[in-house]
Amino acid sequence: MMFGLNGVEISLIITFSFLFFGIMTGFPVAFAIAGSAILSFAVIAIMSNQGLLYTIEIYNGAEEIVPVLPKGWDGAMLSTLSTWAQGIFTRAFGGNVEVLLAVPLFVLMGIALERSRIAEDLLTTMARTFGAMPGGLAIAVVVVGTLLAASTGVVGATVVTMGLIALPTMLRAGYSKSLATGVIATSGTLGQIIPPSIVIVLLGSIVGDMYSIGQENRAQELGVTVMEMLGEPAVLSTGTLFKAAFIPGVVLALLYGLYALAYALLKPSSAPPIALLERVPGEFHIAEHYNNRTGLMVLMALGPITLLIAGWIALTSMGLVSAQTSPGDTALVSHGTLFLSVVGIFVFLLALFFQPQYRATPIIIGLIGIAAYVFVDIKFLGGGEQPSKAFSQYALPTVLILYGLKHAIQRLKNIEVLRVVSPPVILIVSVLGSILGGITSPTPAAALGAAGAIMLAAARLSAREDGRKSASIQVITYAAFAVVVMLLMRGNFDLRMTVDNVSTQDQIAIWVTIIAYHVAVFGLLFACGVLLAKGVLPKVVRETTKVTSMVFMILIASLFLSLTIRSYGGEHYIQEALRSIEDPRVLLLVVMGVLFVLGFVLDFIEIIFIVIPIVGPVIYAADPALMPPEWITILIAVNLQTSFITPPFGFALFYLRGVAPPSVTTGDIYRGIWPFVIIQIVGLVLLWHFPQITTFLPDILPEN
């Protein structure tokens, strides 16, 4: 043996040395990984053939030298190709193809919103809203980063956009370079944890298999089946991970905002308040209306929705809310009814609080409609009625609600911040609501988000040149309304045309849905035409293709590397070393430490596709009652998010360095990022000690 190491250990060192130096060369990552896999396999094969790489096995009491490639390079190659053909390729591109389809759709969604300058509008408006308070610009960046994270999920676009727009403004206002760069770089990475997140999608395509394999191994050791051991199949869906990631993402955003506020209070000269930007004539500004009392303004805006959501959670915890009420069900109302009620009440209260000069009668009528809607759900239905009868029962309350919403929206659209924030928020609610509410899986939701982003981008660019009430916006509005109609028809009628004896009501609903579908498709094609005419669509498609190609090329290259490691038993060696740690929480802590260190030199995609398949079957073999699989996954996701901001290879730092003015040095960026790295560690500690932060939403929200 060389240096006291056996052949497998030396082979692992050779493989990861090639990987490290390949990445350090600056060559495209996908080709560097694939090249390191091929070259390291060649070197190991030659050394094994020369008798330099071997292990010592004991057979019948006698030691025997066994090469790391006992069948030679040709046998290892055939075995590797067989493994690829029988399982690896199928698992990567066959069984998980639906999950992976969400990647290009979410990327398209984010790039379309970034190219339409919606992010620029958000930054400008939030600066006007929060700028008058200490650290207000930094808090505005965190808020915008959170909104963009939940509507785009693309780190590069978010960091570059905020770096171009917010950084010069913050520097002119006298903000510390370290605070400005740190808060921009870190807030831009929230898209890696807050759904829709590419990290969650990619993890979801892998950890489901890892959890299933790990639990099957544990069941075999116990001599039982998985169903006997768990009482349910060992399934971990991407939708569950989206639910688990939402609250941790919000918690991290709150920690960033609290740090910015504390920094401003301790060092007022480094994060001073700024004067309000020049107002647009004829527009209503909330900040001026409340004499720049930002705290009161935020309390009045977010207080009601916070109380409403708390009430929703309390009712769900008491078992009074379920996915869909049915005869014999103890639940009173469904999640869908409460969702509509919470959104409606929130909009009505905003109209009352921020536009008190108007008559309250239409708003009161809308609130009565919501009360009637809930009453119908509780009293007359319960899941046992025919869809057509259910729809008729809801008709009158729906009309009252729509009447109230019409007046509320007309009043609220005069408020700048609400008008700018509403489009991305509506898109967020549509995409995340469909996932968190169990209506659909992430891939169809990603398609909805991509289509919505295209229409939003077209409407934004049309309003920029043609005016707010242009014909283009009207067409897109009708298309969006058609989508809502389709969702309503789908939720209240049986739209299957192949069943026997289709009722008259269902036939009418089918034709209404067909008409709405064609209107929606026409609106989407029209929006694509608008973006094409303005030269935006080609850029969006080109950037989406580049990002998606990079992800999938890294996936293929990572599979090459995994097969190389497997060929000489490296994967088995690592797993056995991890299994030697008896305490599963200590094992997870070790893995988290390794991932954190790897984040300094590797991108999150390489870590997901190279490291997780090796360690996954071991860490996901723990008792899910002790270590829930969604909790493990979100800990990994937050850890991977940290890789974006850790020097020297943090991608967010590169993005920001590329757009920062010459006065901002790399040292300023590094000094500004370390407090947020510590905040990330604090966030990980909170998640470690309070797993309920991740398991709460999956426990109370319905599955698909």
Judge whether 200 and 241 are in contact, CB under 8 Å.
yes
Domain residue extents for the chain? 1-100+539-567, 119-285+569-704
Q: Would the CA dihedral through 25, 27, 29, 34 be positive or negative? A: negative
Tokens 């997780």, residue?
612
Strand 62-67 with 321-322, pairing: unpaired
Residues with Cβ within 8 Å of 246's Cβ and at least 6 positions away in sequence, in order, are 194, 195, 432, 436, 697
What pLDDT was estimated at residue 94?
46
Looking at 413-503, list the stretches that DSSP marks H as alpha helix, in order from N- to C-terminal side: 416-436, 442-466, 471-492
Residue 670 corresponds to which tokens in the numbers above?
């590094």
User: CA 337, 197, 456: angle at the middle one, nearest 5?
Assistant: 65
Question: Which tens digits make up the pLDDT trace of 170-229?
Answer: 888 888 888 888 898 888 888 788 887 778 888 887 888 888 888 888 888 888 888 888
End-to-end Cα separation, the chain, in angstroms: 54
What pLDDT was estimated at residue 492?
61
Residues with Cβ within 8 Å of 623's Cβ and at least 6 positions away in sequence, in order, are 218, 584
Alpha-carbon distances, residue 587 vs 54, 620, 624, 682 (angstroms): 28, 11, 15, 20
Q: What is the mean pLDDT of residues 152-160?
A: 67
- SS3 string, 457-471, reads HHHHHHHHHHCCCCH
Residue 550 corresponds to which tokens in the numbers above?
């990079």
What is d(CA 417, CA 412) in angstroms, rounded to the nearest whole number?
9
Residues with Cβ within 8 Å of 229's Cβ and at least 6 positions away in sequence, in order, are 215, 218, 219, 222
Residue 321 predicted with pLDDT over 60: yes
| Class of residue 368 by CB neighbours under 10 A (exposed 0-12, middle 13-18, buried 19+) | middle
Judge whether 634 and 245 are in contact, CB under 8 Å.
yes
Residue 515 predicted with pLDDT over 90: yes
Judge whether 675 and 182 are in contact, CB under 8 Å.
yes
| Phi, then psi, of 56 in degrees rounded to 5 | -105, 115
What is d(CA 529, CA 458) in angstroms, rounded to the nearest whole number?
9
Residue 558 corresponds to which tokens in the numbers above?
């990572």
Average pLDDT along the chain = 79
What pLDDT was estimated at residue 329?
53
What pLDDT was estimated at residue 284?
54
Q: What is the pTM of this model?
A: 0.78
Omega into 648 within 30° of 0, i.e. cis? yes
Judge whether 631 and 585 are in contact, CB under 8 Å.
no
What pLDDT was estimated at residue 282?
52
What is d(CA 291, CA 296) in angstroms, rounded to the nearest whole number?
10
Residue 540 corresponds to which tokens in the numbers above?
């969006």
User: Which segment of 207-216, 262-271, 409-418, 568-577 scores lowest on mean pLDDT?
Assistant: 409-418
Q: Would the CA dihedral through 485, 486, 487, 489 be positive or negative? A: positive
What is d(CA 448, CA 457) in angstroms, rounded to the nearest whole number?
14
Find which of 57-61, 310-314, 383-387, 587-591 is predicted with most confidence, using mean pLDDT.
Answer: 587-591
pLDDT band with cut points at 50, 70 and 90 for residue 293: low
What is d(CA 209, CA 215) in angstroms, rounded to the nearest whole number?
10
Nearest to 390 by CA among 505, 287, 275, 274: 505
What pLDDT was estimated at residue 466?
45
Helical pair 361-379 and 387-412, crossing angle rounded to 10 deg = 160
